[in-house]
Amino acid sequence: MAIPKICGIETEYGISVRDHSDFNPIVASSLLINAYAKPALRRVKWDYEEENPLRDARGFERAPAEGAAVEDETGLVNVILPNGSRYYVDHAHPEYSSPECSNPHDGVVWDKAGERILEASIQAAGAIVPNGQGISIYKNNSDGKGNSYGCHENYLVDRKTPFPNLVHHLIPFLVTRQVFTGSGKVGAEANSRDVDFQISQRADFFEVEVGLETTFKRPIINTRDEPHADPERYRRLHVIAGDANMAELPTFLKLGTAALVLRMIEDDFIAEDFTLTEPVRAIRTVSHDPSCKATIELSDGRRLSAIELQWEYLRLASKYSEDNDTDGGAADVLSAWEQVLEGLESDPTSQSHRLDWVAKLVLLEAYRARDGLGWDHPKLRLIDLQYHDVSRKRGLYYKLERAGKIDRLVTEEEIEWAIDHPPEDTRAYFRGECLRRYSRAIVAASWDALIFDVGEEPLRKVPTLEPGRGTKAHVEELLDASPRAGDLIANLGA
């Protein structure tokens, strides 16, 4: 039986400093995070002991490149926040990794909380940077100069599920889901063929079907094997083939549909073979066709559009949900999935109030019609970028939202709560509450452990290897009965 699909999203944000084309993005990102994080949180180090980005899910470990930097010796800013998230500098970008969530609705809430944290960081940095220096943060995936940065999803998967089964069934799904998860982009990059506008920001950057890398030779299926949980029981599926979304429905569908497909794979429910003849070419073909009518070839000779293939996955997921006890709001996911596919099939522009790429395309077409602009006009790329500005005053997405042109799934009250509070039904609750209550006694933390210094030798490591434990229901009484960190350690050992 499939295990619960606890999930989370890691987002690398684009950063720029206005009127400073030669700015150092690492320094700017560090400044941003330091300005936001309280001193008590900055002193808690990230624990890298259990991390190994070179371990491959295919059963081997790649040797490190000669001269490669050791992660914890880089000196980059890396903090854990009371909402259970990680906020740090990664590859010259500020990155927000959401806490573990048990369902796609919460995934949206804590992902949006990340945007608010970045927005607040800009304001905090403005108080210490001369004249504010105009820091801007963009929740996008490309700088328009051939460089791409990621928005990665993580899902808890049963270790018993053969990895080749995941690859077999996920590639067609990931290639075609971009019709509702794409963020839209003017032009093409990475030596791809020229297009005026495409569905996905990331599609041009994928070069292979399966692999370990994330920043070059990007694979559709990433094989990194870092479970951040009990390695005997769990796998963490690290999905890098996706865009960062401003609109809430694409994030909801991105998490919810993938969770259902993974459940079906674990339960060996998918009998059909949707193998694609050329997945890398197919992912670009789908992205380069905003009409959503282009077909891609399956290994059995059929040619289907991305929407037609998504209908097949939806049909299976609906049947699976009838026959199995699903959780995580599956009924809402199935309903939204169906509505979006129906709308895209009828007229893609009908989904401008729900999907990022359609909202952006309609916005750009309005500017083109008003000002007589060709697709190669620089103003269109600026509009494209401004759509992703996390500032609610400047961002064009938020302008559309205020005008009632974008549907909402979550409330501002939920998002404001999530900025400083963790989800209550995963281990993120224990991590976040410990940071809130005992930060001065915590030496280091990671997804699967907290290390305490309670004035005794040695340091005390508290493992959190079960993502579904450490919830409010499990530990609230324990925490309330432990006014000091030493009390917590003693009570844990009782």
- Catalytic residue numbers? 90
Residue 240 backbone dihedrals phi, psi, to 5 degrees: -105, -5
Neighbours of 205 (CB within 10 A): 25
Number of residues written out for the chain: 494
Burial class (CB in 10 A: 0-12, 13-18, 19+), 294: middle
- With the C-alpha atoms ordered 355, 359, 362, 365, is the resulting torsion angle positive or negative? negative
Could you give the CA distance from residue 45 to residue 40 in angstroms, rounded to a whole number?
11
Could you give the CA distance from residue 101 to residue 256 in angstroms, rounded to a whole number?
12
Please give, one letter per residue, the 3-state secondary structure of 361-408. HHHHHHHHHHHCCCCCCHHHHHHHHHCCECCCCCCHHHHHHHCCCCCC
Residues 6+ apart with CB under 8 A from 117: 36, 81, 85, 87, 96, 419
Nearest to 135 by CA among 12, 295, 269, 19: 19
